[in-house]
């Protein structure tokens, strides 16, 4: 697993901790019960319920491991400490798409907190990477799945 620091808001950090707690306490117990019930039905070699429960258990443990890794590398960013002269994580960046003239506002966040419907984009996404470290007035060309888009940064705020 990666050893790169994960920058999160206090809210995002708490959400990850809450999810981890839920998975370790409630979901582990539920899956253990499901496995026990399936095991009680007899021959495990032809028991689809048992196989499905074991597969679900594997996915759960992988998610728990990923959350533990992310939390161990997390650094909570204080929004008041974010320099708003350049686009960094937690910056609210207003851009004009020079191809279409459309204006868009993005908040740069960690990939765990990204939610395009709320305008939160990951700093690991093509657009997020393209905006990082840029200043108001900068124009950036970004390769996206639909081609190349040129964005002009019109405002950076917290």
The pLDDT value recorded for residue 83 is 64
Mean pLDDT to the nearest integer, 40-63? 88
What string of DSSP letters covers 118-130? Answer: GTEEETTSHHHHH
Same domain, 88 and 147: yes
pLDDT at 52 over 60: yes
The pLDDT value recorded for residue 121 is 93
Mean pLDDT to the nearest integer, 69-93? 81
pLDDT tens digits along 99-154: 899 999 999 988 888 898 999 998 889 999 999 889 999 999 999 888 899 999 99
Q: Which domain holds residue 43?
A: 6-76
Same domain, 94 and 153: yes
Same domain, 87 and 150: yes
Same domain, 72 and 97: no
In 29-138, which ranges are E strands?
74-76, 92-97, 103-109, 120-122
H-helix or E-strand spanning residue 7: strand 6-8
- How many structural domains does the chain have? 2
Is residue 1 situated within a structural domain?
no
Residue 147 sits in a domain whose CATH number is: 3.10.50.30
């Amino acid at each position: 697993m990666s050893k790169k620091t994960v920058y999160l808001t206090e809210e995002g950090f708490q959400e990850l901790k809450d999810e981890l707690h839920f998975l370790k306490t409630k979901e582990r117990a539920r899956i253990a019960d499901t496995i026990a019930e399936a095991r009680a039905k007899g021959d495990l070699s032809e028991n689809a319920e048992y196989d499905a429960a074991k597969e679900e258990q594997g996915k759960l443990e992988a998610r728990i491991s990923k959350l533990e890794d992310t939390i161990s590398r997390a650094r909570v960013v204080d929004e008041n400490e974010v320099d708003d002269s350049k686009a960094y994580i937690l910056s609210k960046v207003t851009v004009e798409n020079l191809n279409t003239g459309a204006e868009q506002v993005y908040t740069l966040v960690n990939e765990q907190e990204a939610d395009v419907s709320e305008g939160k984009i990951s700093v690991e996404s093509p657009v997020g990477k393209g905006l990082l470290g840029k200043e108001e007035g900068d124009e950036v060309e970004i390769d996206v799945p639909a081609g190349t888009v040129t964005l002009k940064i019109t405002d950076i705020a917290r």
